[in-house]
Amino acid sequence: MLSAETPFDWAGVEVAVPRSMGGPPGISMAGFRHRDSGRVDITMVAHPSVTLLIDLTDGEGITHDGPGRRERGSVVVGLLPGDLRTTGQGTGECLQIRLEPDAAAALLGASAELTGTLAALADIWGRDAGRAEDRLRAATSWDERFAIAADILGRRLGDHRPVDPEVAHTWRRTLTSRGRVRVDRLADEVGWSRKRLWSRFRSQLGITPKHAARLVRFDHAAHLLAAGHATAGVAAHSGYADQSHLHREVKTFTGLTPTAVASAPWLAIDDVAWPASSPTRKRSKDGEHIAAPR
């Protein structure tokens, strides 16, 4: 999820979205082009996905500052990255790919180890990272880049042992229920004990089922706040005990108040780049579009 910690002219950013939602399951992507020559300063906050940021800029590239670590160029951002800042200078392009945690495990083989941090893509993919960047840079359109990325990811699926079907089911149910299904019920659904589900889920996805539910619930609530819904209604609709509970969770995941989250520009651009996953906007049928978010 992208956000501007300080006022940022989103009119200077073009967003490209794939024409169709086809491709490997659990994967979505969007392309970003910064047209201005000034400095780009973006903050990433917690989102229920593992994120690949593929740097397609020329020159020095993009710098990423995370907790105790700095990387330049293409990176993989694990779940719950903490305070992660991305900066760059001048015009540039970036392909952002979101991987649901079970898809990340099959593609990266290190999703659990990545939780709470970031890593250079080259540390995960080796020389294939540079080859992927070269192919994407050589493409003449975002359509071509999306097709190349889907091909690369499709070929890599299965390179690593997939998560247990029970873990994949638990994640899917957590996502579709917007974090409002109890762990005991999920354990009953997959035929495991609560302790076994808790252990296998954490070892394969890097977080506990309860924390995953909190993250998914927060993401849904944040989008509702950005859509202009009142805090009390969002709290009730999203499964929080009261407004104070919502306030504490928003503070935990963003360091902001619900009021500040409601005006945070990353949620506006999120609806443009990933409309299919937004609880407040339906994807248009116009195919790929390039838009300058308001």
In a domain, 275, yes or no: no
Claim to verify: residue 7 and residue 101 sit in the same structural domain: yes
b/e string for 185-213 if b means 16 or more Cβ within 10 A?
Answer: ebbeebebeeeebbebbbebbbbebebbb
Claim to verify: residue 205 and residue 91 sit in the same structural domain: no
Claim to verify: residue 15 and residue 142 sit in the same structural domain: yes
Total number of domains constituting the chain: 2
pLDDT value at 39 more than 70? no
pLDDT tens per residue, range 208-225: 999 999 999 999 998 899
pLDDT tens per residue, range 97-140: 999 988 888 888 766 677 777 889 999 889 999 999 999 999 99
Q: Hey, how many other C-beta atoms are within 10 angstroms of the C-beta on 70? A: 10
Q: Tell whether the torsion through CA atoms of 138, 140, 144 and 150 is positive or negative.
A: positive
In a domain, 274, yes or no: no
Question: Could you list the residue range(s) of the whole structural domain that residue 174 is in?
Answer: 165-262
SS3 content of the chain, % helix, strand, coil (to 5): 45, 20, 35
Q: Which uninterrupted H or E stretch holds 88?
A: strand 84-89
**pTM for this entry:** 0.83
